[in-house]
Amino acid sequence: MTNNATILIVDDEAPVRETVRAYLENDGYTVYTSADGNAALQSIRAFKPDVVVLDIMLPGMDGLEVLRRLRQESNAWVIMLTARTEEMDKILGLKMGADDYLTKPFSPRELVARIEAMLRRSGQMSDMADAPLIFGNLRIDAGARQVSWAGQTVELTPIEFDLLLALARHHGRVLSRDQLIEQVWGYDYYGDDRVVDVHIGRLRRKLDQAGNAGKLVATVRGAGYRFEDALA
């Protein structure tokens, strides 16, 4: 099997790095590894990975700080690894821009499956339509995976982009959390459905920063979310 994607594994435990590397390289991915936060940032800049597997507990600069800095310069998919069981640690990672998380110990096969699903669904969503979607000042270009407001680019993470695209393609209709998870994360996702709320919150803030457009993504209490055709 041959894959074009580049993966960066960031973990201070050598057995974890080498085990995951072996599984990914066996599937044809190009894989780099880093053992600490500073080295991770250098690798992100040098290799521009498509996916970053990032442990929270790192020596020196922890994974959350790496994630914060990464999101200032990269839209790579990010899967956080954590040995912590506290719910707030997971939610904090998602709020800071992670796309998914796994709790240690984890199955390398499950991690590989999640990476494959992320890359596959991203490509499928981008291929579904050629013409950009335009709603007033908002332009969503699925093929280029770009969003702009009044001609200015709105920087979104892959998950944020896919959520916006899914909602916009069904504008005027309510999509439940389960429907959004199936369209964006995939039917086989079995994590907490609150990840939808966290990413919708980030998406709204970015739309607001671009043009006070967060209200385009409306909450329908008890039902889900709806994309509005225009600002009220």
Of 122, 153, 182, the one marking the end of a domain is 122
Residue 232: inside a domain: no
Distance CA 184, CA 117 (A): 10
What is the per-residue DSSP string for 172-187? TSEE-HHHHIIIII-T
Indicate if 172 and 189 belong to the same structural domain: yes
Indicate if 113 and 183 belong to the same structural domain: no
pLDDT at position 1 is 45
pLDDT band with cut points at 50, 70 and 90 for residue 60: confident
Q: What is the side-by-side order of every strand in the sheet holding 51-55?
A: 30-34, 6-10, 51-55, 77-82, 100-103
Indicate if 108 and 11 belong to the same structural domain: yes
Contact status, residue 47 vs residue 8, Cβ threshold 8 Å: yes
pLDDT exceeds cutoff 80 at 193: no
Hey, which of 74-78, 94-98, 173-177, 195-199 has the most confident mean pLDDT?
A: 173-177
Q: Name the phi and psi angles at 156, rounded to 5.
A: -120, 150
What CATH number did the domain enclosing 35 receive? 3.40.50.2300
Indicate if 20 and 115 belong to the same structural domain: yes
- The structure tokens listed for 4 are 């074009």
Contact status, residue 104 vs residue 124, Cβ threshold 8 Å: no
pLDDT at position 105 is 87
pLDDT at position 152 is 92
- The structure tokens listed for 119 are 């890359």
Indicate if 134 and 47 belong to the same structural domain: no
Indicate if 134 and 212 belong to the same structural domain: yes
pLDDT digits (tens, 9 = 90+) for 36-58: 999 999 999 999 999 999 999 89
Which residues constitute the domain of residue 153? Answer: 129-227
| Structural domain count of the chain | 2
Sign of CA dihedral 141, 146, 150, 156: positive
Above pLDDT 70, what percent of the chain? 89
Indicate if 26 and 98 belong to the same structural domain: yes
Regarding predicted confidence, which is higher, 29 or 192?
Answer: 29
Q: What is the rounded average pLDDT of the residues 204-211?
A: 92
pLDDT at position 217 is 95
- The structure tokens listed for 128 are 């579904």
Indicate if 82 and 133 belong to the same structural domain: no
Tell me how far the alpha carbon of residue 83 is from its chain's centroid: 20
pLDDT at position 8 is 97
pLDDT digits (tens, 9 = 90+) for 146-191: 999 999 999 998 889 999 999 999 999 999 998 998 888 875 565 6
pLDDT at position 145 is 87
Q: Name the phi and psi angles at 81, rounded to 5.
A: -110, 130
DSSP conformational letter for 132: P
Residue 74: inside a domain: yes
pLDDT exceeds cutoff 70 at 140: yes
Indicate if 157 and 216 belong to the same structural domain: yes
Mean of all residue pLDDT scores within the chain: 87
Distance CA 100, CA 118 (A): 10
Distance CA 40, CA 63 (A): 9
Indicate if 93 and 36 belong to the same structural domain: yes
pLDDT digits (tens, 9 = 90+) for 73-89: 888 999 999 876 666 77
Indicate if 109 and 134 belong to the same structural domain: no
